[in-house]
Amino acid sequence: MTKLSVNINKFATIRNARGGNNPNLVQVAIDCQNFGADGITVHPRPDERHIRYADVFDLKQIITTEFNIEGNPLEDKFVQLVLDSKPTQVTLVPDSLTQITSNHGWDTLKNHQFLSDIIKVFKKEGIRTSIFVDANLEMIEGAKLTGTDRIELYTENFAQHFRTDKENIIKPYTLAAIRAHELGIGINAGHDLDLENLHFFNQNIPNLAEVSIGHALVCDAIYLGLHNTIQLYKNKLK
């Protein structure tokens, strides 16, 4: 069964809007795990507009499932954060400082040397590595050459066209997953996956190890409750 990692960035956004510690991010992570999440994902950014760097160390102490930290390894502070906290997995994302959210994968050919070098740094410390990529066979093959353990398929394009053309829009993702598996790379996915499109995506992506879902899940939890929402997402992955 595909694992569900809950991205808790949006809970931190709500907390930061008023100051203080409500909602308590540590308790949110504990609850997500107790309610069935297979992992917790955070994506700290340099301006700390949602996840703060200090949050990472507080969370590390209570996570009993898998801890996934996303971010851009061009930032020395991010690299040191990962090395100091030693999560289960680090997902390398090519964000710029001004981006609201991630919006493209790595060019694994153009950035081959940089990615190869930084992946060695993380793997030396026993941290599983994943590279955020588009559903492009050339980029998948480039990812293999970097030495990464996994890729994370960037799924926004799939989500945008799911309602109108799901049979065609899924094809490049399926082919990318097949090629990644042939190359011995693990497959993750994330971005704009939700209760409407998740089951179809999961059914059409062979060997999908993990999805990371935040924004849609948090929005659903407002109406449906966190416990119920996590169970609904888990059911879509069966």
| Global pTM value | 0.95
Q: Which of 50, 66, 152, 191 is catalytic?
A: 191
Q: Write out the two tokens for 70.
A: 């996303």
Q: Residues near 216 by Cβ (< 8 Å), separated by ≥ 6? A: 192, 193, 194, 195
The domain locations on the chain are 3-236
The answer to whether 50 is a known catalytic residue is: no
What share of the chain has pLDDT > 90, as a percent?
A: 92
Q: How far apart are CA 175 and CA 180, in angstroms?
A: 9
Residue 43 known to be catalytic: yes
How far the first Cα of the chain sits from its last, in Å, is: 6
Which of 43, 66, 152, 210 is flagged as catalytic?
43
131-154 confidence digits (pLDDT tens): 999 999 999 999 999 999 999 999
pLDDT over 80 (residue 104) = no
Contact call for residues 23 and 12 (beta carbons, < 8 A)? no
Of 66, 70, 152, 210, which one is the catalytic site residue? 70
Structure tokens at 118: 């930084």
Q: Are 216 and 5 in contact (CB under 8 A)?
A: no
Q: How many residues does the chain have?
A: 238
CATH 2.40.128.20 fits 3-236, yes or no: no
Active site (annotated) includes residue 70: yes
